[in-house]
Structure 1
Amino acid sequence: MGLFRSVQAVTGASGTGPVDWTAVAEAAKASTEPGSIALSTEEQEGYADDVREARGRIREVAAIDFDVPESIEIQNRHHWIDANIDTFQRVMAPLGDQVGLIPGLARMVNTGTMSIALAFLGNNVLGQYDPLLLAESDAHSLYFVHPNIGKVATMLDVPEPRFRRWIAFHEVSHAAEFGAAPWLADQLEADLQRAVDALGEGSLDREALGSLDTTMTAVEGYAELVMDRAFDGEYADLRRKLDERRQGRGPVSQLVRRLLGLGMKRRQYERGKQFFETVADERGVEGASAVWERPENLPSDAELDDPRAWLDRVR
């Protein structure tokens, strides 16, 4: 029944733009079980404690001042889909009414593609720090998708509170980056706007896309470093089991991840972490945090593969 409703929503896509976002939401949620967020008092307090204690540990280890977002939400999968539809709508707004030579067909294909992507991600995302790029508000948000955290903890055969805490450290590490570098969101927004504007004109702005990739590699790599060095427990088995789970995905899942660019995201994690591990081994995590002091301190694409060049340049 869910699949039928999903297909029905996509084939009924309407409007004037390239994507019918109402149909995307309906289709993605029709094919995704929301999951329960009926938390016990202990679980509610656990999330709050994890975020608060992660903030304290990261402030101490990274020697940077930041705060966590005022909005910290425990979501089910449908909540996450709705929140991220808002993000995609903002990002794709510059495309205007471009729907191609056959508007109805193009809109249906675009709507189906977006619904598949959001349904897949909604079933897999564990937590998300959201800087709300291109939004009118300056407020940032922090989400935890509770049903997915419980599902993956069970699959990995690890205690859910310990796994939840590890995820909290990762997401709070992202809050630390954006809190320490108020200019970071503006830079990402500018590059993203340039890339989407070029796409709307039928071209690719490779410079903007390259800048986005380099910046996000630094963002993901630093978060991985800080997550590991600040976490107040053993994490090696958690990381190993997650990597094994990713490698053991079925062919359909692997195809979807490839189409969504999630392989590139994993490369950003690994490449960025290797860069920051080298920097931190020489200057400590506090020295690595210098990357957020000003935009000029971001590593270039070449420096990501040659940390010594960055160490020589940024003192």
Structure 2
Amino acid sequence: MSSNPSDRGDNPQDPLSEMLARLFGGGGAGGMDPAELAKAAGLPSDPNAMAMIFQQVQAMFSASSDGPVNWQLAKDNARRVAATGSDPSTGPTAAREVDEALHLAGLWLDPVTDFAATSTLGRAWSRAEWVEATMDSWRRLTEPVAVSISEALSNAITTQMPEEMKSMMGGASSMLANMGGAMFGMQLGQAVGALSKEVVSSTDIGLPLASGTMALLPANVAAFGEGLDVPEAEIRLYLAVREAAHARLFAHAPWLTAHLFGAIESYARGIHIDISKIEEAARDIDPANPESIQSALSGGVFQPQRTQAQEAALERLETALALVEGWVDEVTAAATANLPSAGALREMIRRRRASGGPAEHTFASLVGLELRPRRLRDAAALWAHLTEERGIEGRDAVWEHPDLLPTSEDLDDPKGFGKRRQLIEAADSDVDAALKRLLDGGFDTPEETDKPTDASSGESTDGTAGEGTVPEGGSRNDDDGGAGDGTDGTDEPGKPGSN
């Protein structure tokens, strides 16, 4: 290597300078521009942005986590994202407006649903408050997925790694696991923070993220109404009715939350990563061609392959979400029938829920699940039909047990739901009757004393003399124990009795 500081690296005997020149362009090490280096690495030139990046990297390496995800890092990152731009705190005026809207929403819901009002509290939240209140639910929602992905990757690496490499890894495997948990936590925080800028209420995505609370986000409600020729008070009231309807449903069907989260857990338990796809993509990568690397990584090589059991779990989840949103949609439409803008707001929310926003797509790519009611309109049509057929009480009675819930087949044919349900109930009734007979001993073999007798012959069905009958050609003893002689009118005269 040349010791001349003015040497620009043109000396072919200086391989390090030549390598740096190839990597960074220009004059190699002597002419390296830090700004160009940062640009080549994809780093921002803004000092504040750089400080935030270094802070996050430091948190990744310093924070410890007992599980597959660094949840504290996830929450901190979510709050940081939620605070970018503007996240005004809710003052007394906004809190009063939300409280009044939720109270009026409860009055409007009373005549259109059989579910009574709950003692759920009404809140006005900032985005940061939404993050704080819902983070436990996000943990419950994503932890099964994170655990399954972590185990799948760990097993895949262990399987593919040669024995000599396993001994060399030592404690590095736990370090890599912690880094993986930190990276997932940062990504989760990014997704949750982005969602905090889009959601208008605590149940906006169809899940009870903040159990025991009704809440609206005034800043997001105002953003939701931008460009609409609708008074903000009407928008707030309509969204309050939807929030209150969600709260009543989840309160009166306490099994529903576990049903929804259980479908997600069933999906997570079956996660499997196809290592062969990663190996195939690695063979196609040309280190000298950055585009080949980008193409390989964007081809979904790390996306878990769905099994048949996972597809079934996803169908249950999508059907349940559609039923929840369809019921809320139908009940809200009935409650807001006199609200001038109700029709336009209903259609807008339907399209919004069906398509999902950018943050919702980010979350879907993170956990492999789309929390969207694809069949919202079909579900709303089903609930409308049940209202006409059974009335409000009969419609809401469907939520009494998960076994009563409509299926995807019922969404295909809402009018046939009642007939199919009758057939199922009739079959269940036959099973119950057979079970009762079994428990009562109706299927047992009759005992000797219970054998039926033939009334005309006086014989039991097995040919033996039945109790209380007189065999032909014979007699029975009198009450005094002697042989009957026919004098007391009991024995036939002219026939001798036998002892």
Q: How many Å separate the matches in 1 of 2:259 and 2:360?
A: 31
How far 1:282 moved relative to its partner?
Answer: 4.1
Q: Any conservation in 1 of the 2:321–2:373 contact (CA below 8 Å)?
A: no
Shifted more, 49-58 versus 237-246: the winner is: 237-246
Q: Deviations over 1:105-129 (max 9, x none)?
A: 5334412321221122100000124
Q: How many Å separate the matches in 1 of 2:131 and 2:260?
A: 22
Q: Any conservation in 2 of the 1:25–1:81 contact (CA below 8 Å)?
A: yes
Q: Deviations over 1:159-188 (max 9, x none)?
A: 221111111101111112123323323433
Shifted more, 294-303 versus 231-240: the winner is: 231-240
How far 1:67 moved relative to its partner?
Answer: 1.2
2:108 paired with 1:57: yes
Query: 2:224 — aligned with what?
Result: 152
Q: Which of 32, 37, 52 is residue 89 of structure 2 equivalent to?
A: 37
Q: How many residues align?
A: 307
Query: 1:120 — aligned with what?
Result: 194
Which runs of no fewer than 5 residues in structure 1 stay unpaired?
134-138
Query: 2:30 — aligned with what?
Result: none
How far 1:73 moved relative to its partner?
Answer: 2.1
Higher helix content, 1 or 2: 1
Alignment of 1:17-166 (within 5 A): 17-33=67-83, 35-41=87-93, 43-69=94-120, 71-94=121-144, 98=150, 100-101=153-154, 102-129=176-203, 131=208, 140-166=212-238
Q: How many Å separate the matches in 1 of 2:49 and 2:389?
A: 53
What secondary structure does 1:143 align onto? strand
User: Identity of counterpart residues, as a percentage?
Assistant: 23
Report the TM-score, using the length of structure 1 for normalisation.
0.80
What secondary structure does 1:156 align onto? coil
**CA 263–233 in structure 1, closer or farther in 2 if over 3 Å, else same:** farther
Alignment of 1:230-249 (within 5 A): 230-231=335-336, 232-234=338-340, 235-241=342-348
Q: Deviations over 1:249-297 (max 9, x none)?
A: 99x6796476478976152433322322333344444443232133222
User: In structure 2, what residue type is equivalent to 1:226?
Assistant: V
Q: Any conservation in 1 of the 2:124–2:215 contact (CA below 8 Å)?
A: yes
How far 1:199 moved relative to its partner?
Answer: 4.5
Report the TM-score, using the length of structure 2 for normalisation.
0.53
CA RMSD of aligned residues (A): 3.6
Query: 2:397 — aligned with what?
Result: 290
Q: How many Å separate the matches in 2 of 1:242 and 1:291?
A: 25
Shifted more, 75-84 versus 233-242: the winner is: 233-242
Q: How many Å separate the matches in 2 of 1:268 and 1:3?
A: 42
What secondary structure does 2:225 align onto? helix
Query: 2:411 — aligned with what?
Result: 304
Larger Rg: 2
Query: 1:136 — aligned with what?
Result: none
User: In structure 2, what residue type is equivalent to 1:19?
Assistant: V
Q: Which has the higher contact order (CA 8 A, sep 6+)?
A: 1
User: In structure 2, what residue type is equivalent to 1:276?
Assistant: W
Q: How many Å separate the matches in 1 of 2:347 and 2:320?
A: 26
How far 1:247 moved relative to its partner?
Answer: 9.9
**CA 192–266 in structure 1, closer or farther in 2 if over 3 Å, else same:** closer
Query: 2:492 — aligned with what?
Result: none
Q: How many Å separate the matches in 2 of 1:253 and 1:188?
A: 21
